[in-house]
C-alpha cells in the first residue's frame, strides 16, 4: 500500500522530530478545519501557512493523536490504569487502540510503550525467575517488580515533560520572543496551546 507520492511537492518529505513551528501549523489547521482527512491536511497546511508543513498525512495524524490533542493526558500511568491495562491486555492481547479507548486521554502508542518497556519486561523477569526455579527470595516480580513499578508509578517519577520555559503556572509563562531553533521538544503542550491563544485563534 502506502503509495509513493506522485506529486512533486512531496519530493521532500520531512521526517524526524516535530518542531514547534510545525506543531503550530498543525494545531492552527485543525482548529480551523477539524480533524481527519489527513492527507489533504498535509497538502493544504503547507499552503495554509507561510511555513510549509512537509509532512505526510500519516505523520500529521500521529502527531495530533499522540501529542497535540488537548485531551491527551501526559505523565505517569496510575496504578488503576496499570491494572486496567493488564486486565484488558489479558482479554484482548495487543489491541492497543482498543485498550486505549478504555483509558481516557491515553494513546495507544503510550500504552504500547508502557507495556513493552515496563510490564512486559517485568513479566519476562518473572518468567526467568521461575525458570531458574529460584526461590532465592520472594523478590516481588510482577507486582513486585512493583518495587520498581509502583515507585516508577504515580508518585515519584518525573513528569514526562518538564520544559524549562514553563513552570506549571500559566500566569508566569513567558512566551519566547522568537521561534526557537527547531528543538521542538523543549516545548510543552501548554506552551504551544498558549502560543495558539496568543495568536488569537
Binds DNA by CB under 7 A, chosen from 49, 66, 165, 182: 66
| DSSP state, residue 7 | S
Q: What residues have CB less than 8 Å from 17, skipping those under 6 apart?
A: 184, 185
Q: Least distance in Å: CB of 173 to DNA?
A: 20
Residue 187 as a binder of DNA (CB under 7 A): the answer is: no
As a whole number of angstroms, the distance between CA 158 and CA 174 comes to 23
| DSSP state, residue 115 | I
* Number of residues this chain uses to bind DNA (CB under 7 A): 46
As a whole number of angstroms, the distance between CA 201 and CA 197 comes to 6
Residues 19-38: x/- map of binding to DNA (CB under 7 A)?
-----------------xxx
For DNA, the closer of residues 107 and 171 by Cβ is 107
The cell for 164 is 524549562
Residue 51 as a binder of DNA (CB under 7 A): the answer is: no
Residue 58 as a binder of DNA (CB under 7 A): the answer is: yes
The cell for 140 is 516481588
Q: Least distance in Å: CB of 124 to DNA?
A: 11
Q: Which of 118, 123, 109 is nearest to 82 (CA)?
A: 118
Residue 196 · residue 24 · CB < 8 Å: yes
Q: Least distance in Å: CB of 200 to DNA?
A: 25
Residue 141 as a binder of DNA (CB under 7 A): the answer is: no
Distance of CA 3 to the CA centre of its chain: 26
Residue 124 as a binder of DNA (CB under 7 A): the answer is: no
Residue 154 · residue 79 · CB < 8 Å: yes
Residue 117 as a binder of DNA (CB under 7 A): the answer is: yes
Residue 74 as a binder of DNA (CB under 7 A): the answer is: yes
Binding interface with DNA (CB under 7 A): 1-3, 6, 14-18, 36-41, 55, 57-59, 61-63, 66-67, 74, 94-98, 108-110, 112-114, 116-118, 121, 152, 158, 160-161, 184-185
Amino acid at each position: 500500500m502506502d503509495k509513493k507520492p506522485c506529486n512533486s511537492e512531496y519530493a521532500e518529505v520531512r521526517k524526524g522530530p516535530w518542531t514547534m513551528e510545525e506543531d503550530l501549523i498543525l494545531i492552527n489547521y485543525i482548529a480551523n478545519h477539524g480533524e481527519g482527512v489527513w492527507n489533504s491536511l498535509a497538502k493544504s497546511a503547507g499552503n495554509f501557512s507561510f511555513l510549509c508543513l512537509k509532512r505526510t498525512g500519516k505523520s500529521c495524524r500521529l502527531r495530533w493523536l499522540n501529542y497535540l490533542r488537548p485531551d491527551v493526558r501526559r505523565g505517569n500511568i496510575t496504578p488503576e490504569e496499570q491494572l486496567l491495562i493488564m486486565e484488558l491486555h489479558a482479554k484482548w492481547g495487543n489491541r492497543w487502540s482498543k485498550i486505549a479507548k478504555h483509558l481516557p486521554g491515553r494513546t495507544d502508542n503510550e500504552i504500547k510503550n508502557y507495556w513493552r518497556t515496563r510490564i512486559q519486561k517485568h513479566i519476562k523477569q518473572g518468567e526467568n525467575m521461575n525458570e531458574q526455579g529460584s526461590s532465592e527470595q520472594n523478590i516481588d516480580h510482577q507486582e513486585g517488580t512493583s518495587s520498581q513499578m509502583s515507585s516508577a508509578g504515580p508518585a515519584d517519577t518525573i513528569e514526562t515533560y518538564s520544559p524549562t520555559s514553563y513552570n506549571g503556572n500559566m500566569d508566569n509563562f513567558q512566551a519566547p520572543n522568537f521561534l526557537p531553533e527547531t528543538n521542538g521538544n523543549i516545548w510543552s503542550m501548554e506552551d504551544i496551546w498558549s502560543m495558539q491563544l496568543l495568536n488569537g485563534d
